[in-house]
Amino acid sequence: MTRLVVLCIDPRESVDADENYNDGNTVFVRVLAGNVNSIPRTIDALKKEYDLTQTITATHGGCAAIAEVTDALAGRPICGFHVDSELTSQFRGKGVTGRKELEELNPALQAERAALLGLKNVKPVFMPEANLVAKTEGHHVAVVVKPSTLEISKILSAAGIANPGLAYVVQTQYADESAASLEVAVRRGGVKQIMVIGRENEKINEEVRWISELDFVKEKGVKVIPKPINLDAKPKSKSM
């Protein structure tokens, strides 16, 4: 029996994840705006790996990705191709165009998607920006790591990142399902370094190569580096 929590990549959501959801039996997925729509293969893989009995689609106020949606719906230019193709389309025709209203619509929209992907007992949760920790100023990095039940602050500190407030965190099973998230981190968050974290036996160098070829990574001269770490996963609880 495992709970799945889908959260945004926003650095402030790392604190939200550790404080409100980490019970050792919750697997975390992080994607821009908590956009379940863009990660069908990750969801499929997790359904096979875990006995998922509950899903929470947790999104937040002050979301940079929803700012992109707001711009797209108003016909203003947005940050890039990946974002447009994966995020904005699902918000069209809902009769809502303001940023605040779109942010509040988002968790239910993602919950609907999650149910369509066959997830059970799905619950939408919205975290207003006022309830999040303050934004951290400084040079942010983006971190790519597989979905897991581990505390995100532990993963980050094992990778040498002491302050979780400085890291956008992308947790999908497949590199290509992380492209739109990384695009927002790079183009809107000004990220100059992407760290691919994985255990020694994971093929993180392949992911580093794949991410290095993304258009916005090349264009902005972003450094993509592999970061092998040693952290034990919690035991799996699938009973089959």
Q: Which residues bind Zn ion (CB under 5 A)?
A: 8, 10, 63
Pick the closer one to Zn ion by CB: 11 or 147: 11
SS3 174: coil
Q: How far is the CB of 107 from Zn ion (least distance, A)?
A: 11
Distance CA 87, CA 217 (A): 19
Degrees, nearest 5: CA angle 160-163-167: 85
CB of 210 to Zn ion, least distance (A): 24
Residue 177 φ/ψ, nearest 5 degrees = -85, 5
Q: Taking phi first (over 0 means left), then psi (-120 to 50 degrees means alpha), and beta for anything else, what does residue 72 get?
A: alpha
How many whole angstroms separate alpha carbon 240 and alpha carbon 236?
Answer: 11
Cβ at position 24, least distance to Zn ion in Å: 25
Nearer to Zn ion, 180 or 229 (CB): 180
Cβ closest to Zn ion, residue 63 vs residue 229 = 63
CB-nearer residue toward Zn ion: 68 or 207:
68
The Cβ of residue 233 has, within 10 Å, a number of other Cβ atoms equal to 10
* CB of 8 or CB of 72, closer to Zn ion: 8
Whole-angstrom CA distances from 86 to 83, 138, 166, 174, 225 are 5, 28, 25, 15, 25
Nearest to 91 by CA among 102, 77, 83: 102
CB of 73 to Zn ion, least distance (A): 17
- Between 67 and 229, name the residue whose CB sits nearer to Zn ion: 67
Could you give the CA distance from residue 107 to residue 130 in angstroms, rounded to a whole number?
17
Minimum distance of Zn ion from residue 224's CB (angstroms): 22
Q: Report the nearest approach of Zn ion to the CB of residue 184 (Å).
A: 8
Min dist. Cβ of residue 51 to Zn ion (A): 29
Nearer to Zn ion, 189 or 198 (CB): 189
Q: What is the DSSP secondary-structure string of 9-48?
A: S-THHHHHHHHHT-SSSEEEEE-GGG-GGG-HHHHHHHHH
